[in-house]
């Protein structure tokens, strides 16, 4: 039987081997087009909007990586979005503060968690699996 990540779809036809998915559970969006392709996946996609200068974002980045690893078996796609590196992403996605976590499935936003509440983020992920 294959690795559960073998069925995870990746944007823009980028097929990753199950091994690379297991080793790299958090992807990084580098532009708006890439970000949109992630949000349109049929899997549950969790976007972590953050900034390098943000203290709570650094705290949540570690928690986010742990959660991404824990929920990889459920085909959850975790995506890091640096608001300073992806121009206009905060305006397009309505992000007013960092960290903000947006959960998408098939192009539809299913949940939003604002702030560094890892318990609330975990509950939102579990509710939308």
pLDDT of residue 98: 98
Whether residue 62 contacts residue 9, with contact meaning beta carbons closer than 8 Å, is answered with: no
pLDDT tens digit sequence for 47-75: 999 999 999 999 999 999 999 999 988 99
Q: What's the CA gap between 96 and 119, in Å, rounded?
A: 21
Q: Which residues are catalytically annotated?
A: 54, 57
CATH of 24-127, one of 3.40.50.300, 3.40.50.2300, 1.10.287.10, 3.40.30.10: 3.40.30.10
pLDDT tens digit sequence for 95-111: 999 999 999 999 999 99
- Domains of the chain, by residue range, sit at 24-127
Q: What's the CA gap between 29 and 89, in Å, rounded?
A: 10
* CA dihedral sign of residues 6, 4, 62, 88: positive
- 5 versus 34: which is more confidently predicted? 34
Whether residue 77 contacts residue 41, with contact meaning beta carbons closer than 8 Å, is answered with: yes
- The pTM for the full model equals 0.81
pLDDT of residue 25: 82
pLDDT of residue 72: 87
pLDDT tens digit sequence for 6-54: 444 444 444 433 333 333 589 999 999 999 999 999 999 999 999 999 9
């Amino acid at each position: 039987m294959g690795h559960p990540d073998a069925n995870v779809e990746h944007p823009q036809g980028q097929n990753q081997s199950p091994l690379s998915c297991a080793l790299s559970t958090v992807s990084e969006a580098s532009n708006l087009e890439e970000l949109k392709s992630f949000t349109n996946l049929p899997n549950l996609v969790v976007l972590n909007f953050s900034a390098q200068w943000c203290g709570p974002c650094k705290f949540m980045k570690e928690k986010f990586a742990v959660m991404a690893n824990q929920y990889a078996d459920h085909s959850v796609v975790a995506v890091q979005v640096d608001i300073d590196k992806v121009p206009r992403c905060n305006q397009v996605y309505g992000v007013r503060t960092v960290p903000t976590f947006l959960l998408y499935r098939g192009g539809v936003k299913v949940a939003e968690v604002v702030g560094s509440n890892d318990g609330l983020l975990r509950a939102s992920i579990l509710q939308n699996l």
